[in-house]
């Protein structure tokens, strides 16, 4: 019989899988159900932070505008799970076919998830997406692979 930690970890892995499904299905409403309403997101696009679920969804919406077909991949998801708080990190890549028909392989980013169990359901309360910085040029390095 699985322990509560094993059950919680499986639920969180399923939640991350639903991010993939939501992006590939261009399903903003489905994505909305995965985040806490007061999420604070540090994404790769300005501003420095996106506060609240509407800001998070507003950050995902352009993906559906730019891409005809969306592909999203998460690799090496590592989790640490407590009773009602968990965190994890992974590599993720958004790619696909743009509206003009151009295929793009996208870029790998680093993702950190902070989750909270709210009313028995795991939700993402904070996430951070980043790329390494080349200090000499001041530019993000976007051609690395895990």
pLDDT tens digits, one per residue of 25-66:
999 999 999 999 999 999 988 899 999 999 999 999 888 999
Closest to 96 measured CA to CA, from 73, 74, 70, 72: 70
For residue 142, tell me if it sits in a domain.
no
The answer, yes or no, to whether the previous bond of 47 is cis (omega within 30 of 0) is yes
For residue 31, give both structure tokens: 């994505």
Given this model, what pLDDT does residue 45 score? 87
The first and second tokens of residue 53, run together, are 């679920």
The CATH number of the domain where 46 resides is what?
3.10.450.50
Structural domain containing residue 83: 4-130
Q: How many domains does the chain divide into?
A: 1
Domain-located, residue 38: yes
User: Do residues 49 and 146 lie in contact, with contact meaning Cβ atoms separated by under 8 Å?
Assistant: no
16: in domain: yes
């Amino acid at each position: 019989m699985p322990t509560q930690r094993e059950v919680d970890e499986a639920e969180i892995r399923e939640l991350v899988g639903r991010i993939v499904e939501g992006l590939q299905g261009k399903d903003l409403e489905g994505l909305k159900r995965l985040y806490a309403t007061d999420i604070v997101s540090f994404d790769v696009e300005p501003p420095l932070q996106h506060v609240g679920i509407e800001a998070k969804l507003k950050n995902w919406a352009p993906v559906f505008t730019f891409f005809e077909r969306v592909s999203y991949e998460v690799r090496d998801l590592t989790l640490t799970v407590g009773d009602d708080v968990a965190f994890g990190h992974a590599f993720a890549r958004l790619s696909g076919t743009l509206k003009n028909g151009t295929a793009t392989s996208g870029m790998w980013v680093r993702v950190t998830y902070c989750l909270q169990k709210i009313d028995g359901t795991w939700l993402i309360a904070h996430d951070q997406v980043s790329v390494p910085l080349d200090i000499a040029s001041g530019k993000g390095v976007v051609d690395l692979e895990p």
